[in-house]
Amino acid sequence: MRKPVRALAAVAALAVGMLGIPGQAAAAASGGSPYLPGTLRPSASQAAQDQALQKYYSFWKQHFLTTKCGSGTYAVLAPDADHAFVAEGQGYGLSIAAMMAEKDPQARAIVDGIVKFVKAHPSVNDKNLHAAEQDANCKSVNGSDSATDGDLEIAYGLLVADKKWGSGGSVNYKAEAVRIINAIKKSEVNPDTKFMRLGDWATDGKYINSSRSSDWMPGHFRAFAKATGDDDWNTIRAKHEGAVTSLQQNHAPKTGLLPDFVLGTDSTPKPPTGKFLESKYDGAYSWNACRDPWRLGVDAITAQGSAAAGQVRKMNTWIQQATGGDPAKITTGYTLAGAKTESGDHPCFTASFAVAAMSDPGGQAWLDKLFTRISSFSPDSKDYYGTGITVQVLLVLSGNYVAA
């Protein structure tokens, strides 16, 4: 999606007490999918983990959910983005609410309300995709075309909803998901390279063979193949897995980090030099790629033989060394060689690394430090991006993540 203005969230000095119970827990908490044997979990009690999740989820509901866009409608506000509503936010809302099904009696109403909002704002290029941005009056703006990250998450959230409630109610979650998944393949996957496009608008010029690394979600692609029976999604997944390995080997051998944007998807993937779409850090590990350890990490702990397991361990090993084992030193962006690009910290960078730590057999102490740090954040009512990502990371850490 277009460049959002990210607000920095303040961090409180409080820390959640660690109770020292065993951290290796293959079984997820009630409502979540089982994790692979050997997956690490925070050593804090399940109650402490759920408390941290509930704190952030309640804040997210209070500050970023609105019914202002119509009767029966919910939508996720994004005060730190270019426009009041963005596609990724609606996708986050669907996944978050569906995964909270056992914990929030309002969860299904929220899911159904976001679905209503999404369907009311179709892309001008493909009516089965979502227009990426709406203004404060709930009107689609900025071209009314799509953003791939939003559509991927909207489809995934619907699959989670189908797992939680089935599809026999007022919304046929499975049918809606399959409709969107097929549209993503048609309009947001480059048919020649099998790479994700930036949106249904990125079909020519310098954009045709470009992609966004944070759209490379192997777990989503697995779920899409399962839901549709379309094996092309496994081919698409393998293509992106290979590109991650190539980028790590050729451009980030020390850090394992990925760039926000990737060029040359028709040949050898490479980071851009300077500004490509959003900022001078488009070729660095910045505000889009900060999601990569989380997105790859969930596949590493839920899918046997996932290529992501080794990929996120590279990132996890490096960030521990770079910070001296102190999560407070994780900063807001790095070059692929590991130099800091911006100062300060932000939840999207810190929280995401915690998911990567879950697949590192020797990472228990580091994971516990990350959980303490994440749990002590004071949510920022202007920071939809950091709050939404932190809620989703806490769903994973607490065992409530659903692998659709």
Confidence of residue 15 (pLDDT cuts 50, 70, 90): very low
Would you state the pLDDT for residue 30?
66
Strand partners, 212: 261
The token pair at 149 is 């990250």
What average pLDDT does range 47-56 have in this prediction? 97
Q: Please determine, for residue 129, whether its predicted confidence score (pLDDT) is greater than 90.
A: yes
Separation of alpha carbons 102 and 30, rounded Å: 8
The answer to whether the CB of 92 falls within 8 A of the CB of 68 is: no
Q: Please determine, for residue 20, whether its predicted confidence score (pLDDT) is greater than 70.
A: no
Catalytically active residues, by annotation: 88, 149
The answer to whether the CB of 157 falls within 8 A of the CB of 93 is: yes
Separation of alpha carbons 351 and 331, rounded Å: 12
Confidence of residue 28 (pLDDT cuts 50, 70, 90): low
Nearest to residue 348, comparing CAs of 318, 391, 316? 391
Would you state the pLDDT for residue 157?
98
Confidence of residue 31 (pLDDT cuts 50, 70, 90): confident
Model pLDDT for residues 130-163, shown as the tens digit of each residue: 999 999 999 999 999 999 999 999 999 999 999 9
Would you state the pLDDT for residue 14?
28
Q: Which CATH architecture has domain 22-64+253-404?
A: Alpha/alpha barrel (1.50)
Q: Please determine, for residue 166, whether its predicted confidence score (pLDDT) is greater than 50.
A: yes
Domain ranges across the chain: 22-64+253-404
Model pLDDT for residues 219-238, shown as the tens digit of each residue: 999 999 999 999 999 999 99
The answer to whether the CB of 198 falls within 8 A of the CB of 288 is: no
Would you state the pLDDT for residue 2?
37
Q: Please determine, for residue 24, whether its predicted confidence score (pLDDT) is greater than 70.
A: no
Q: Please determine, for residue 218, whether its predicted confidence score (pLDDT) is greater than 90.
A: yes
Separation of alpha carbons 139 and 381, rounded Å: 23
Model pLDDT for residues 177-210, shown as the tens digit of each residue: 999 999 999 999 999 999 999 999 999 999 999 9
Would you state the pLDDT for residue 362?
93
Report the first-to-last Cα separation within the chain, whole angstroms.
Answer: 24
Model pLDDT for residues 260-311, shown as the tens digit of each residue: 999 999 999 999 999 999 999 999 999 999 999 999 999 999 999 999 999 9
Contacts of 337 (CB under 8 A, 6+ apart): 252, 254, 255
Half-sphere exposure (CA, 13 Å, Cβ side) for 287?
A: 22
Q: Please determine, for residue 12, whether its predicted confidence score (pLDDT) is greater than 50.
A: no
Model pLDDT for residues 276-287, shown as the tens digit of each residue: 999 999 999 999
DSSP notation for 212-261: EGGG--HHHHHHHHHHH--THHHHHHHHHHHHHHHHHHHH-TTT----SE
The answer to whether the CB of 308 falls within 8 A of the CB of 241 is: yes
Average pLDDT, the chain: 93
Nearest to residue 351, comparing CAs of 375, 315, 325, 318? 375
In sign, the C-alpha dihedral spanning 130, 389, 213, 80 is: positive
